[in-house]
Structure 1
Amino acid sequence: MTTPVPIAVPRKGRPLEAVLERFASVAGTDAESLADDVSSTLRYEKAVTKGDLEDSRGPYERLADYSSPTEPHAPEYTLLRDDRDGMPRRIVFDSVLIDVGDVPVHLVGREEPFRALRTHEFALGFDSADLVLEEVVDLRPSGVSDLEDVNARIDPQESDVRVVTGLGDTVHHTLMATPELLPAGADLDRDFLADYEGDLCISPRYERLVTAVLGTDATENVSFTYPSRDADEEEAAIVETGIGVYLTVTGSTAREHGLVLGEHLFPSETVLMANAAETSETVDRVRRRLVREQADSVLSV
């Protein structure tokens, strides 16, 4: 029997759902059922953790109910401490076996899949493109705008990991500002920000990411500010500052706050990554299968 190819994946949320959808598209009906099962279970558990739903069963009882020890390809879950008030236990994805063509694959949940690839625990993995920018992309005078730019800015002495392709679950880091800040007829884009001096509101801990996206020239005369802990929405904090960068899908909340939506700066997208030092013929077969429907968007690695 072929040894399963281990692949590091996120434990919860939109990135994990995007990964499961990709496997469903390449591995057939059983994988589609699995994706639905895992996604619905974790959405339910998220609602319980947030207090939106109540369940008379405790987390260990629910965890036991989700387990199917007699089914070799049934998903497994585990418990983690959530960072919400009171740090409740949250049930998250742990692992599952899936057949991709004639190759068995072992999806293994990790809190930080990208870092697991960097330490050579895995040859393949999925994580947010944001983390690649935060960890290993070189900071240069000009910024990055798409996934094509990312691999070119990874120092080969720094990491063997490269981005293979995106999964299309795109949320954009978007420039937004109050109308009063913009001169008449001005476009809210990178060129505007290059001439801007003052505060720029961003999410905490995103300094390096935003600098990588905008470039060091554009951020030279910018001071990063952050939403207060009491702020209900980041958009409200951007209104106070006047200009900021935040993740947005439709921009409806930003518009409700009276903000002007500017340039989509960079796609916050789940990506397939490969560690070139850990490749093998079997790993390459799985990688090709995972990207075969996106031949036009596969990056050079």
Structure 2
Amino acid sequence: MTATIPVAVPRKGRPLEAVLDRLAARMDAATVADEVCSTLRYEKSITKGKKTTEKDVYDRLADYSDLSDSTRPEYTLLRDDRDGKPRRVVFDSLTLEHGDLRLQLIGREEPFRALRTHEFALGFDSADLVLEEVVSLEPEPLSTIDDINERIDPRDTDVRVVSGLGDTVYHTLLGRPDVVSEAGDGWSPSREFLRDYEGPLCISPRYERLVRAVLGTDVVEDLEFRYPTSGREEEADIADTGLGVYLTVTGSTARDHGLEVGERLFPSETVLMENIPEAGTNAVGRAKSLFTEADIETAIRV
């Protein structure tokens, strides 16, 4: 008998692509995974004004849809927060089969919150959102994904992190050399530097709680948070401030603004989560194994 397991996933972006990437290899789904990723990237470029098309968004949505075939991906429309609030085509659902297991990926705006309310046993979201929602703020910094579950109060939520997908970029400390050099020769933007630093730190408002968690409350007491100016590259605002935290891959843009790329404070990675009371069945366990076998780079203590 085939078991159907619904899994909450983001509607767009890097975390959704990471999930599809993993399933492309595990469930012989490379073609449909590539189709979804390509469609969403194309729609993003239209929304951002990088591409144009004569078809309106409803015609494009109709072109992507084939409700007569249950194995085809489905899409829906989301109101984007860019100027003019355009409607954007985003992921809605996709059903994949693996032996006697049917995995039903269902798009949610906030997968983590969907798990918290027991709508799903399994789901994927950015590790950042777990920190922003439920991780306790303590004097000691939180620096690895391994430590997330230890910072979750079991009275607050039944959700725990199971594993990461390895699509890692980092919240990195960036600093202007003249600001860091005030501490003496050989210093670089680092946790050690921040212990004695008192002054402004430029961060994105959405990551304020995350920054408090990964730096620790003792360090944060001496910092004055500054926020980027709308319409500018965040690295430019960090350069004006002198020190800041930003998501980086190569750090090339930061260097273009005269910033020194310092310590990686915390990995921003897509994580598999489970709602423990909802995840006790054998079928859910087999679904989890598609993401937690030996070739997964990050294993989380539960």
* Bin of the TM-score, shorter chain as denominator length: over 0.9
Question: In 2, distance between residues paired with 1:24 and 1:180?
Answer: 47
Partner of 1:278: 278
SS at match of 1:4: strand
CA distance in 2, matches of 1:278, 1:153: 21
Pairs within 5 Å for 1:110-149: 110-149=108-147
Quick one: which of 148, 151, 175 aligns to 2:149? 151
Instruction: Say which of 176, 179, 187 aligns to 1:181.
Output: 179
Q: Give the match for residue 251 of structure 2.
A: 251
The residue type equivalent to 2:58 in the other structure is: Y
Q: In the alignment, residue 138 of structure 2 is paired with which amino acid?
A: R
Match of 1:36? 34
Structure 2 vs 1, CA of residues 82 and 27 (structure 1 numbering), >3 Å: closer, same or farther? same
Deviation at 1:300, TM superposition (A): 2.2
Q: Secondary structure at the match of 1:205?
A: helix
Q: CA deviation at 1:4?
A: 1.3
Tell me the residue number matched to 2:298.
Answer: 297
Task: Using the TM superposition, give the Cα deviation of residue 294 of structure 1 relative to its aligned residue in structure 2, in angstroms.
Answer: 3.3
Greater mean deviation of Cα atoms: 9-18 or 184-193: 184-193
Alignment map for 1:198-237 (pairs within 5 Å): 198-230=199-231, 232-237=232-237
Task: Give the CA deviation at 1:51.
Answer: 1.3
Q: In 2, are the aligned partners of 1:95 and 1:108 still within 8 Å (CA)?
A: yes
State the partner residue of 2:66.
Answer: 68
- Count residues in correspondence: 298
- Counterpart in the other structure of 2:239: 239
Matched residue, 2:8: 8
Evaluate the alpha carbon distance shift between residue 271 and residue 161 of structure 1 in structure 2; reply closer, same or farther with a 3 A threshold.
same
- 2:193 alignment counterpart: 192
- Unaligned 5+ segments in structure 2 are none
Deviations, residues 161-203 of structure 1 (Å, cap 9, x unaligned): 1111111111100001000012221132111111110110000
Question: Which residue does the alignment assign to 1:22?
Answer: 22
Q: Shift of residue 100 of structure 1?
A: 3.0
Contact 2:140 2:216 in 1 (8 A): yes
Q: Within 2, Cα distance between the matches of 1:88 and 1:289?
A: 36
Q: Is the 8 A contact 1:163 1:273 kept in 2?
A: yes
Tell me whether 127-136 or 284-293 shows the greater mean CA deviation. 284-293
Report the counterpart of residue 57 of structure 1 in structure 2. 55
Identity %: 61
Mapping of residues 67-106 of structure 1, within 5 Å: 67-106=65-104
Of the three residues 162, 166, 169, the one matched with 1:168 is: 166
**1:293 shift after superposition:** 3.7
Residue pair 1:162, 1:274 contacting (<8 A) in 2 also: yes
Q: What TM-score, normalized to structure 2?
A: 0.96
Contact 2:163–2:291 (Cα < 8 Å) also in 1: no
Deviation, structure 1 residue 283: 0.4
- In 2, the alpha carbon distance for the partners of 1:50 and 1:295 equals 34
Deviation at 1:3, TM superposition (A): 4.1
Contact preservation (8 Å) 2:202, 2:228: yes
Q: Residue type of the partner of 1:134? A: E
CA RMSD of aligned residues (A): 1.1
Structure 1 position 253, deviation (Å): 0.1
